[in-house]
């Protein structure tokens, strides 16, 4: 059953099937204002959380969309683990200073950060903040492939959580001076030109902050479409010379000084606070930045850094660039130009004269007409559920519990090992296209026969398998488990059972032919085995192609 279903899933995904869920057995007959239909209520929650829960559905029904978002914006920030800084030398740390058998796991892998991430995603109330921070982490990418120290990644992910509803300009500054980013893209210990020592400014961060974090490769109209020259070709946003100028502006920063250590012009890696300025290593000469803006240059690295970041922040591309990226992560892989433009204009001005207000941008994305109602009927609307969202969506919808331990391997097996992205382009590039369609489907870049089977295997293990026992080496572990006994009274009538699951998982959008196939599979199970009937129906729904795509 698993292999046959997976083959169908791959084929269906490539032509863009749809999905949805509703959230609990008794939520099928939900009533909501016409503008805020049951389907749109669930859609909003899928786009703004790691998956709807019965409580969230009921809350949004009572409050309405705007009030729900306001409440989410006010909630206390989830926290990543407060891990102690560790020595750069893993052998020294784990064999001499802290020889416990779990030292490497706890301090030199992402285990503690990943488990907390899944625990927060499944249980913490600030779902919107977490979802936005997760999206930002896939735009402003760092990876444990270059720095596997748990405390360093934990600090960086907390930064994204703290800044998720702040201003983009502050986020840009915090990311730029993050020691984790400083190491990942060589901002730390980037020094001015010194021919005698064979030293030149490192261009890595300058290149990526422009290409991936802010303005992109080509000039954009407010609706995200490329501006073109007389020859019809897109106009580049910047040149190699401008990258060199930004690299010069970014010189003169090193890692913070570790407690008890003496400050050095080139401190070794320490990731607890922010990079610190080293004026002697900074290029104080004049620079020419985006749009030909010339800055005089200053011996104070902070002054030049602020001028460079202000230059980026004020560029007209940032609004449409960030609008498209965040829309892709939250609502749809192929946003229409008018959708991008509306969000972009909110980035430019939140209605109170403030540029870069991420809270206003997120609100605009989620409440835009293009993400609601009849607009989502378009065949180009929606996005494949990436592994993390597939796992958390299934578990939250069905009421599963987990300490996150087993989910690390499940997600990694589907090629999304959280916080261990293979490149600065994330696990999948934003411009990945479905062959022959001209449509973007970034998450499909990591879908193949193996990862599709992994998706089906996850659903199979969760629904049919035994509970995953708690790891005795994890304090407070509860393992991973799911109970579907509440559904068993419905098993005597397969049509009722399937329709309730359709409402829970797909907001009653299951195609007639698929519904009939599921009914037949359920009916073949003896009526006396209510538990197996429920598990069969549930598995076929969550592993099927309709649920794989968020619409």
pLDDT digit string, tens, across residues 294-332:
999 888 999 999 999 999 999 999 999 999 999 999 999
Q: Identify the pLDDT of residue 530.
A: 98
- What is the dihedral sign for C-alpha 228, 370, 325, 422? negative
Q: Identify the pLDDT of residue 33.
A: 41
Cβ-count burial 57-74 (b if 16+ within 10 Å, e if not): bbebbeeebeebbeebee
Residue 190: closest CA among 243, 122, 230: 243
Q: Identify the pLDDT of residue 20.
A: 33
Cβ atoms within 10 Å of 543's Cβ, excluding its own: 25
Whole-angstrom distance, CA of residue 465 vs CA of residue 420: 28
Q: Identify the pLDDT of residue 261.
A: 94
Whole-angstrom distance, CA of residue 245 vs CA of residue 201: 9
Whole-angstrom distance, CA of residue 121 vs CA of residue 407: 11
Q: Identify the pLDDT of residue 38.
A: 84
> Tokens 């794989």 — which residue?
548
Residues of the chain with pLDDT under 70: 1-35, 96-99, 375, 377
**pTM beyond 0.85:** yes
Q: Identify the pLDDT of residue 477.
A: 96
Q: Identify the pLDDT of residue 16.
A: 44
Q: Identify the pLDDT of residue 13.
A: 47
Q: Identify the pLDDT of residue 87.
A: 86
pLDDT, tens only, 51-93: 998 789 889 999 999 999 999 999 999 999 999 999 888 888 8
Q: Identify the pLDDT of residue 214.
A: 98
């Amino acid at each position: 059953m698993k292999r046959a279903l997976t083959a169908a899933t791959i084929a269906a995904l490539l032509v863009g099937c749809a999905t949805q869920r509703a959230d609990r057995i008794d939520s099928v007959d939900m009533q909501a204002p016409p503008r805020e239909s049951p389907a749109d209520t669930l859609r909003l929650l899928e786009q703004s959380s790691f998956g709807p829960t019965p409580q969230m559905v009921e809350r949004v029904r009572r409050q309405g969309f705007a009030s729900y978002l306001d409440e989410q914006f006010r909630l206390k920030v989830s926290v990543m683990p407060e891990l102690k800084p560790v020595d750069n030398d893993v052998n020294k740390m784990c064999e001499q200073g802290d020889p416990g058998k779990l030292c490497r796991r706890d301090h030199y892998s992402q285990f503690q950060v990943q488990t907390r991430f899944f625990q927060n995603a499944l249980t913490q109330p600030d779902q919107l903040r977490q979802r936005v921070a997760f999206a930002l982490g896939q735009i402003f990418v760092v990876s444990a492939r270059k720095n596997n120290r748990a405390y360093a990644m934990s600090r960086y992910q907390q930064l994204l959580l703290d800044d998720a509803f702040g201003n983009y300009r502050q986020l840009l500054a915090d990311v730029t001076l993050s020691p984790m980013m400083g190491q990942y893209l060589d901002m730390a210990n980037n020094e001015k030109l010194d021919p005698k020592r064979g030293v030149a400014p490192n261009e890595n961060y300058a290149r990526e902050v422009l290409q991936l974090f802010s303005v992109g490769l080509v000039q954009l109209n407010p609706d995200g479409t490329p501006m073109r020259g007389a020859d019809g070709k897109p106009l580049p946003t910047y040149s190699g010379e401008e990258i060199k100028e930004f690299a010069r502006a970014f010189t003169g920063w090193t890692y913070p000084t570790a407690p008890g250590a003496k400050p050095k012009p080139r401190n070794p890696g320490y990731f607890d606070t922010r990079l610190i300025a080293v004026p002697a290593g900074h290029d104080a000469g004049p620079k020419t930045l985006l749009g030909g803006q010339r800055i005089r240059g200053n011996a104070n690295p902070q002054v030049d850094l602020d001028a460079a970041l202000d230059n980026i922040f004020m560029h007209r591309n940032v609004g449409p660039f960030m609008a498209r990226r965040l829309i892709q992560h939250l609502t749809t892989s192929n946003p229409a130009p008018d959708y991008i433009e509306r969000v972009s204009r909110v980035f430019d001005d939140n209605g109170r004269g403030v540029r870069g207000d991420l809270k206003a941008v997120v609100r605009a994305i989620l409440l835009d007409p293009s993400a609601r109602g009849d607009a989502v009927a378009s065949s180009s609307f929606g996005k494949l559920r990436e592994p993390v969202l597939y796992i958390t969506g299934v578990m939250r919808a069905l009421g599963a519990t987990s300490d996150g331990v087993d989910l690390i391997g499940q997600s990694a097996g589907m090629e999304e090992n959280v916080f261990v992205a293979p490149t600065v382009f994330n696990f999948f590039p934003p411009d990945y296209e479905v062959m022959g369609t001209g449509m973007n489907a970034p998450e499909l870049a990591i879908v193949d026969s193996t990862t599709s089977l992994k998706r089906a295997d996850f659903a199979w293990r969760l629904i049919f398998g035994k509970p995953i026992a708690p790891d005795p080496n994890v304090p407070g572990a509860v393992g991973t488990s799911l109970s579907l006994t509440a559904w068993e009274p419905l098993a005597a009538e397969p049509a009722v059972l399937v329709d309730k699951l359709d409402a829970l998982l797909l907001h009653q959008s299951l195609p007639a032919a698929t519904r009939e196939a599921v009914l037949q599979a359920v009916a073949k199970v003896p009526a006396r085995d209510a538990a197996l009937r429920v598990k069969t129906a549930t598995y076929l729904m969550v592993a099927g192609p309709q649920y794989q795509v968020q619409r």
